[in-house]
Amino acid sequence: MTDWESVLKTRNDRSIIMAFAEGLCSGRQLTLYFTDKTPQAGIVRNLLRRYGVNHARTLAGKALSRRQLV
């Protein structure tokens, strides 16, 4: 299960996840953004590995909408 609370912690994190969910950012760009953020980097890598980019985009969009961030 993905810990979205830690991934969506800051405004910049939310904006990059929103760009990813909208297709404006690739999975590679998302991974590079979270590289220096150790706990979140593992969560993002596992999300992409487990579900693939297309399904990860859907899940990111759902996470944002359920938290009323979209």
Task: Please report, to the nearest 10 degrees, the dihedral formed by the alpha carbons of residues 30, 36, 42, 43 taken in order.
Answer: -50
Q: Is 30 strand, coil or helix?
A: helix
pLDDT in tens, 11-63: 999 999 999 999 999 999 999 999 988 889 999 999 999 999 999 999 999 99
Token pair for residue 21? 């969910």
How is the chain split into domains, by residue range?
A: 4-66
Model confidence, pTM:
0.90
The closest alpha carbon to 69, from 23, 25, 7, 24, belongs to 7
pLDDT of residue 13: 93
> What distance, in Å, lies between the first and last C-alpha atoms of the chain?
21
Sequence-ordered list of residues with C-beta below 8 angstroms from that of 43, at least 6 positions apart, any chain: 2, 3, 6, 7
